[in-house]
């Protein structure tokens, strides 16, 4: 199973475990804060997030990220704008 990691402000990484309710790429865009790089990793290739003993010691190289987050606020605004445009299109037909 794939996980999303992104850098924390104070060092280490945050781990996002998608629930499967949204497409994976949408989770990456929404759940990674705006402007932060993220990497997609295999669960087996990274420490277990439940192991909090060395949580702050986890490191990753984000110099070649898989993408950048836009954050939840921008993601929800984008979805609301798309829905409004769709409703306007339906009304004008």
As a whole number, mean pLDDT of residues 70-81 equals 95
As a whole number of angstroms, the distance between CA 49 and CA 85 comes to 40
Question: What pLDDT is recorded for position 51?
Answer: 65
Residue 88 has pLDDT above 90, yes or no: no
Residue 54 has pLDDT above 90, yes or no: no
Of 34, 43, 45, which Cα lies nearest the Cα of 6? 34
As a whole number, mean pLDDT of residues 59-85 equals 94
| Residues found in the chain | 93
Question: What pLDDT is recorded for position 3?
Answer: 93
As a whole number, mean pLDDT of residues 1-13 equals 89
């Amino acid at each position: 199973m794939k996980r999303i990691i992104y850098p924390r402000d104070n060092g280490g990484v945050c781990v996002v475990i998608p629930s499967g309710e949204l497409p994976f790429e949408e989770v990456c865009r929404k759940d990674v804060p705006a402007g932060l790089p993220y990497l997609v990793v295999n669960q087996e290739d990274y420490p277990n997030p439940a192991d909090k003993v060395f949580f702050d010691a986890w490191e990753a190289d984000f110099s070649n990220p898989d993408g950048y987050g836009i954050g939840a606020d921008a993601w929800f605004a984008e979805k609301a704008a798309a829905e409004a445009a769709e409703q306007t299109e339906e009304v004008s037909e």
